[in-house]
Chains A and B, each alone.
Chain A
Amino acid sequence: MSFPWANEYKPTSPLMQWVDQRLPLPRFVYNAVGGGYPVPRNLNYMWNFGILAGVALMLQIVTGVVLAMHYAANDKVAFDSVEHIMRDVNWGWMLRYAHANGASMFFIVVYTHIFRGFFYSSYKAPREMIWLLGVVIFLLMMATAFMGYVLPWGQMSFWGAKVITGLFSAIPLVGTPLQEWLLGGFAPDNAALNRFFSLHFLLPFVILGVIILHVWALHIPGSSNPTGVEVKQESDTVPFHPYYTAKDGFGLGLFLILYCALVFFAPNLLGHPDNYIPANPLSTPAHIVPEWYFWPFYAILRAFTADFMFIPAKLMGVLAMFSAILVWFFLPWLDTGPVRSGHYRPLFRKFFYLLVVDVLVLGYCGGAPAAEPYVMISQIASLYYFLHFLVILPIVSSIETPQPLPFSITEAVLGKDEHAVLSPTQPAVA
Chain B
Amino acid sequence: MAEQASIASATVTGEEGVRRRDFINIAAVSVAGVGGLAALYPLISQMAPSADVLAESSTEIDISAIATGQAIKAVWRKQPVFIRNLTPEEIKKAEAVDVASLRDPQTLAERTTAGKTNWLITMGVCTHLGCVPLGAGEGEVKGEFGGYFCPCHGSSYDTAARIRKGPAPKNLEVPPHEFSSDTVVKIG
Which residues of A pack against B, CB within 8 Å? 159, 162-163, 165-167, 169, 180-187, 189, 191, 195, 281-284, 286-288, 302, 304-305, 307, 312-315, 317, 370-371, 375
Contact = CB atoms under 8 A, between A and B. Distances in A.
B141 to A, nearest CB: 10
21 contacts: A163-B131, A165-B130, A169-B129, A184-B50, A185-B53, A186-B49, A186-B53, A187-B77, A187-B79, A281-B80, A282-B73, A282-B80, A282-B124, A283-B132, A284-B134, A284-B152, A302-B167, A305-B167, A314-B128, A370-B152, A370-B154
Closest 10 CB pairs of A and B: A166-B129, A166-B130, A284-B132, A312-B169, A284-B131, A163-B129, A370-B154, A313-B167, A162-B130, A185-B53
Nearest to B45: A181
Interface string B130-159: 111110000000000000001111100000
B121 interface: no
A283 B124 CA distance: 10
A365 to B, nearest CB: 13
Contacts of A287: 151
A282 B72 CA distance: 11
A187 B79 CA distance: 7
B114 interface: no
Q: Which one of B48, B75, B103 has the greatest number of beta carbons of chain A within 10 Å?
A: B48
A233 to B, nearest CB: 51
Given A162-B130, A302-B153, A370-B151, 16 more contacts: A159-B152, A166-B130, A184-B48, A184-B53, A185-B78, A189-B53, A281-B75, A282-B80, A283-B132, A284-B132, A305-B154, A305-B166, A312-B169, A313-B169, A315-B169, A370-B153
Contacts of B50: 184, 191
Contact of A304 (B53, B131, B152, B167): B167
A282 B132 contact: yes
Contacts of A317: 167
Interface residues of B, number: 30
B168 interface: yes
Contacts of B47: 181-182, 184, 195
Contacts of A169: 129-130
Contact of B130 (A184, A187, A375): A187
Nearest to B49: A185
A282 B123 CA distance: 11
Contacts of B75: 281-282
B142 to A, nearest CB: 15
Given A184-B47, A314-B167, A167 B152 contact: no
B168 A314 contact: yes
B131 A162 contact: yes
A169 B169 CA distance: 11
B67 to A, nearest CB: 21
B53 A163 contact: no
Contact of A281 (B78, B150, B154): B78
Contacts of B78: 185-187, 189, 281
A180 B151 CA distance: 23
A277 B79 CA distance: 19
Nearest to A179: B130
A184 B103 CA distance: 30
B182 to A, nearest CB: 26
A187 B75 CA distance: 12
Contacts of A286: 151
A167 to B, nearest CB: 7
A180 B128 CA distance: 15
B53 A191 contact: yes
Contacts of B154: 305, 370-371, 375
Nearest to B75: A282
